[in-house]
Structure 1
Amino acid sequence: MRDSRRAFISKTAMASVGLPLLPGTMSAAFQNMVPTSKPIPMNQELPKSQIGQYGLWLADQMQDPPKLSFRNDLWSKIEDWKPSAHAKAQEQIAEPLIKDNITVTLKRKYNYDGLEIEELTWKLPYGRPVEAIFLKPENSTGKLPAILALHDHGGNKYFGKRKITKTSDTQHLLMEPHQNSYYEGRAWANEMAKRGYAVLVHDAFSFASRRVFYEDMAGIEWGALKAEGRTDENSEDVRNIEAYNEWAGHHEHLMAKSLLSAGTSYPGMVLAEDRIALDILSARKDVDPERIGCGGLSGGGLRTVFLGGMDARIKCAVCVGFMTTWKDFLLNKAYTHTWMTFAPGLANYLDFPEIFGLRVPLPTMVQSNNHDQLYTLPEMKKADEILATVFSKAGHSERYSGKFYDGGHKFDIQMQTDAFNWFDAWLGK
C-alpha cells in the first residue's frame, strides 16, 4: 500500500501544486499581504521550493501570526476572539448549507466479535446514498459516549468506511494490507467500540458509496477504466479498483475546480457531510450527545481538524498524522496532499493548526510521526507550538496534548492506546 500511495503522489504531484483562486479572492488575498522580504543579491543562490523561485517570496508575504490568530496581542480572552475567527473560517471554507431532513435507513443488524453492528444508509439531496457502519458493545444499555470515526484518504477512493472497520472474518483482500500498513493490523473503529463506545463510520464525500461514478460522467474521459472496458464500478475485482483509484486521483483536481466554481470548496463539502453524520450520531437514543468525540488518521486527521475546529458538539478530538503549517504546504508538501485541505484565503486569517485551535478550550490531541514523509518535522513542531500557545494563552494548557512518535505515516497500536486513553479521560466513559 505504501508503494501505491507513492505512485498516487507521483502521478498527481504536478496538478496538486497550485490552488486555483477565483479572481476576486486572489485580489483580496494579495491586498491583505504585508511585504516583509528584502531583495536577494544577484549572486546569492535562491532557496529551492516545490514551486521554484516563487516559493520564498510568497512565504515572506505570509503574516505570522495571521490576522485572526488568537496569538495576536489584540485578544486576551477566547470569548472576544472566537466569534470573529470562527465566522471568518466558515466564510472561507464556504461550506454548503444542507437544510433537508435526513432519514436514516437500517439495512442490516447483526453481532460480530463482541459488537452489535448496524449497516445504515441515508440520502442527501445530491449524489448516491451515504453508507455507514454503526458499532457498539453487545448488550450495552443506556446512553453511551460516542466517536465519529473518520476514515483516511490514502489515494484510495473506492473504499471508505471499510478502511477502519471489520464486520466479518472475511475482508476484501485489499483491506487487510491497508490496515496492516497504517493501523498495525487493527480495525481501530472496532477497538474503540469494544472499549464501551458507540462508533459511527460513514463514507466521506467522494469516497466509496459517495464516490464519483464513471458512468455518471460527461465531458471528460481518461484512464484504464474506459481503455480496458472495465466500467463495472461495483466490481470488487482488484484490477478494477486500482483502475478506478487511478482515475479518481486525476478527477480530484477537476472536482476541486468545479466546487470552487460553484462557490464552495472541497473541505467545505467534506465538512458539510461530516456534520450530517454527526447530526445522525447525536440524535441516536443510545448515544449521549454531550459526550461525542471524533478522530482519524491522515485524511481522517484532516477531517478532524475541520470538524473538530468548526463544530463544538465534538467534545474531544484526536487528529492523527495530519498537522503542519500553511508554509509547509506552500514550500514543501502541497503535492503530497488532497484538495480536501485547501480553502482559498483562509491562510490570511488562521494558520493551519489554528483551524483546529478554534475548538479551544475543548480537549484536543494531535499525534504526529517524526519520520512522516507527508510533512517536514520542523513545521510539524511549529504547528505543535502554535496549538500549545493557543491553549496556554486561553488558560487551558492541560486540555491540549501534542505527541510525537518514531516511524512513518501511521496510527499504530501505541498511538491508538494513547488516543483511546485521551477519549476515556475527557468523555468520562
Structure 2
Amino acid sequence: MENNRRDFLKKAGLAGLGLAGGGVFNELFANPHSSQAMPSAPAGRSSAGSMTFSASEEAGTSLIGAYGSWAASLIEGELPEFSYRRAEWEDLSSWRRAAGERFEERLAIPGIGDTPEVTVRDRYSYDGLEIEELSWQLPYGRPTRAILLKPRDAKGPLPGILGFHDHGGNKYFGRRKITRTSDDRHPMMETHQQDYYDGFAWANEIARRGYVVLVPDAFPFASRRVLLENVPEHLRDGLDDRNPEEPDNIRAYNDWAGDHEHVMAKSLFSAGTTWPGVFFAEDQKALDILCARGDVDEDRIGCGGLSGGGMRTVFMSGMDERISCSVCVGFMTTWKDLILAKSYTHTWMTYVPLLPGELDFPEILGLKVPSLSPLVLNNEEDPLFTLSEMKKADTILGDVYSKAGAGDRYRCSFYPGPHKFDRPMQQEAFDWFDRWLKGKG
C-alpha cells in the first residue's frame, strides 16, 4: 500500500503533485505511515502528531532559496485586502458582496453556455442503490460522463450532494474513484479505494443514508481527459490511445498527463482564464443538473471531496449560494505554506493569480458565512501540507465564523495518519451532512 501511496504523491499531490524530484520524496517518505495502522481520532480538534518534514521546511530554508522570505513578505504584514478579519469590514453583507465579486474576477470563470441537456445512458440497481449513468455535452471537448446514486425506492425529494473525485495523479479515472456500480471493478480502482478511502466508495455510502449524489468527471479527467490523438505527435512521447483500460497503458498515460499540466496551465492563462475558473464553470453545470432534478430538494444541497475534490469543494462553496453544507477533506492550508514549503506538492490546478494579496486560501471557504456550514478534515501526517499552516488555516476560518456570529456552523478536525479520507473521517463527514441537510442536530 505504501508504494501506491508514494506513487500517488510523487505523481500528483493533492489535487496533484507531479512536479517534485525523487530526492525530495525520499526524504519526505523516510518514515512512511500507513492509514490502516493509525488509530482514528475522535471528532473535533486534536493535538498535533509527529510529522516528517522535507528539507524545504527546515529552519532558514525555502523552496526558492534565499528568495523565500522576500516572497512571503509580499503577502504578510497587513491582513489581505478583502479579509473579513480586517477591522474596516464591519457589515457582513457588504463584505460578502465585495469579496465575492473580487474572487469571481480573479477566477476569470469562462462562459460555457446554458445548462446542457442530459442523456441517461443506463439505469439499474446495485447494492441497495438506484444508479444512473449520465452524460452531457459542453460547448467544448468530449461529453462529460457522470454517475448518479440514490437509495432504491426512495420517496419524495431528497437532499443532494455533488461528489468531487480526487486528483490522485490519475487523470485516466474520475467518477469511478469514489463510486462502485458493480462487483466487477477495475483493479486499479479497487486499489485506489483501499488506499485512500479504507476500501469504501464514499459516494455510495452517503447515498445509502438518504441522498441523491451526483459524481461528474472533472476537467481534464476520465471522459474529459486530453486524448493523445488530439495533441501534436511530438508531444505524445510515443504513446497512443489504444487499449486504454490496460494498467500499463493507464500508468503511461497518467505520467504523460502529469507532465502535460504545465502546458495546460499556461494555455489556460494565455486564454484569459484559470484552471480553478474552468473547474468552477464545469462543476456549476453539474450542480445545475443536480438541482433541476425532481427527486432532489434544491434547498438542501451539499458538496465534498478529498484532495483535488477538497480543493473543488472550497471553490464551489465560496461561490455558489445553493451549497449550504460542505466537507473539504485533505486540502486546507495557507498561501504562505505554498510559497515556502509546499508548492512542489501541488498541481497547477490550485493557483488563482493575484488572489493571495486579497484573500488567504481558507478565507475562500468563508465567503458564504453564515449561510454555509463547512467541515474541514485534515490528516496530521499529510505530506502535502505543513501541519502548523493547516492549524493556522483553522484559526483563520474560526475567526471569520466567530466574527460573523456563526461559530457553531464551522468545524475543523485533525486525524492521525497521511493523506486519506478513511472510515472514521467519512463517519464525521456524513454526520455533518445529516446535521445541516437533514436537521438531525
Q: TM-score, normalised by structure 2?
A: 0.87
Query: Structure 1 CA distance, aligned partners of 2:411 and 2:186?
Result: 35
Corresponding residue for residue 289 of structure 2 = 280
Corresponding residue for residue 17 of structure 1 = none
Check if 1:185 corresponds to 2:195: no
Q: Secondary structure at the match of 2:343?
A: helix
Check if 1:323 corresponds to 2:332: yes
Corresponding residue for residue 308 of structure 1 = 317
Check if 1:7 corresponds to 2:17: no
Query: Structure 1 CA distance, aligned partners of 2:343 and 2:295?
Result: 41
| Contact kept? 2:135, 2:144, Cα under 8 Å | yes
Residue by residue, what CA displacement relative to the aligned partner does 1:59-87 show, whole Å, maximum 9, x if unpaired?
01214420000000011231020111000
Equivalent of 2:277 in 268, 289, 314: 268
Check if 1:401 corresponds to 2:408: no
Corresponding residue for residue 27 of structure 2 = none
Check if 1:158 corresponds to 2:172: yes
Check if 1:253 corresponds to 2:267: no
Structure 1, unpaired ranges of 5+: 15-44
Query: Structure 1 CA distance, aligned partners of 2:119 and 2:264?
Result: 28
Residue by residue, what CA displacement relative to the aligned partner does 1:324-367 show, whole Å, maximum 9, x if unpaired?
00000110001111111101001010000001111211111100
Q: 1:47 corresponds to which letter in structure 2?
A: G
Q: 1:8 corresponds to which letter in structure 2?
A: K
Q: Secondary structure at the match of 2:140?
A: coil
| Contact kept? 2:18, 2:345, Cα under 8 Å | no
Equivalent of 1:354 in 363, 386, 399: 363
Q: Give the 4+ runs in structure 1 shifted more than 4 A.
A: none
Equivalent of 1:239 in 232, 238, 248: 248
Q: Quote how far apart the aligned CAs of 1:99 are.
A: 2.1
Q: Secondary structure at the match of 1:174?
A: helix
Q: Quote how far apart the aligned CAs of 1:12 are.
A: 2.0
| Contact kept? 2:115, 2:289, Cα under 8 Å | no
Structure 2, unpaired ranges of 5+: 22-57
Residue by residue, what CA displacement relative to the aligned partner does 1:226-257 show, whole Å, maximum 9, x if unpaired?
1xxx5135620000000000000011110000
Corresponding residue for residue 386 of structure 1 = 396
| Contact kept? 2:145, 2:223, Cα under 8 Å | yes
Residue by residue, what CA displacement relative to the aligned partner does 1:107-143 show, whole Å, maximum 9, x if unpaired?
0000000000000000000000000000000000110
| Structure with greater contact order relative to length (CA < 8 Å, sep ≥ 6) | 2
Equivalent of 2:68 in 47, 55, 58: 55
Q: Secondary structure at the match of 1:402?
A: strand
| Contact kept? 1:301, 1:321, Cα under 8 Å | yes
Question: How many residue pairs end up in the alignment?
Answer: 394
Corresponding residue for residue 224 of structure 2 = 210
Corresponding residue for residue 130 of structure 1 = 144
Residue by residue, what CA displacement relative to the aligned partner does 1:134-167 show, whole Å, maximum 9, x if unpaired?
0000000110001000000011000000000000
| Contact kept? 1:46, 1:53, Cα under 8 Å | no
Q: TM-score, normalised by structure 1?
A: 0.90
- Counterparts of residues 89-104 of structure 1 (less than 5 Å): 89-104=103-118
| Contact kept? 2:113, 2:139, Cα under 8 Å | no
Q: 2:20 corresponds to which letter in structure 1?
A: A
Check if 1:121 corresponds to 2:155: no
More displaced, 98-107 or 262-271? 98-107
Corresponding residue for residue 24 of structure 1 = none
Are residues 403 and 233 of structure 1, via their aligned partners in 2, closer, same or farther at CA, if it must alter by over 3 Å?
A: farther
Q: Quote how far apart the aligned CAs of 1:48 are.
A: 0.9
Check if 1:83 corresponds to 2:92: no
| Contact kept? 1:100, 1:125, Cα under 8 Å | no
Q: Quote how far apart the aligned CAs of 1:412 are.
A: 0.6
Q: Quote how far apart the aligned CAs of 1:46 are.
A: 8.7
| Contact kept? 2:110, 2:273, Cα under 8 Å | yes
| Contact kept? 1:213, 1:233, Cα under 8 Å | no
Are residues 220 and 79 of structure 1, via their aligned partners in 2, closer, same or farther at CA, if it must alter by over 3 Å?
A: farther
| Contact kept? 2:305, 2:313, Cα under 8 Å | yes
Percent identity between the two aligned chains: 57
Query: Structure 2 CA distance, aligned partners of 1:420 and 1:412?
Result: 12
Corresponding residue for residue 376 of structure 2 = 366
Instruction: Say what the alpha-carbon RMSD is for the aligned residues.
Output: 1.5
Check if 1:105 corresponds to 2:122: no
Are residues 393 and 194 of structure 1, via their aligned partners in 2, closer, same or farther at CA, if it must alter by over 3 Å?
A: same
Residue by residue, what CA displacement relative to the aligned partner does 1:287-322 show, whole Å, maximum 9, x if unpaired?
000001000000000000000111111110110000
Q: Secondary structure at the match of 1:171?
A: coil
Q: 1:13 corresponds to which letter in structure 2?
A: A
Equivalent of 2:189 in 175, 183, 189: 175
Q: Secondary structure at the match of 2:285?
A: helix
Q: 1:86 corresponds to which letter in structure 2?
A: G
Q: Quote how far apart the aligned CAs of 1:6 are.
A: 3.4
| Contact kept? 1:76, 1:393, Cα under 8 Å | no
Query: Structure 2 CA distance, aligned partners of 1:403 and 1:197?
Result: 24
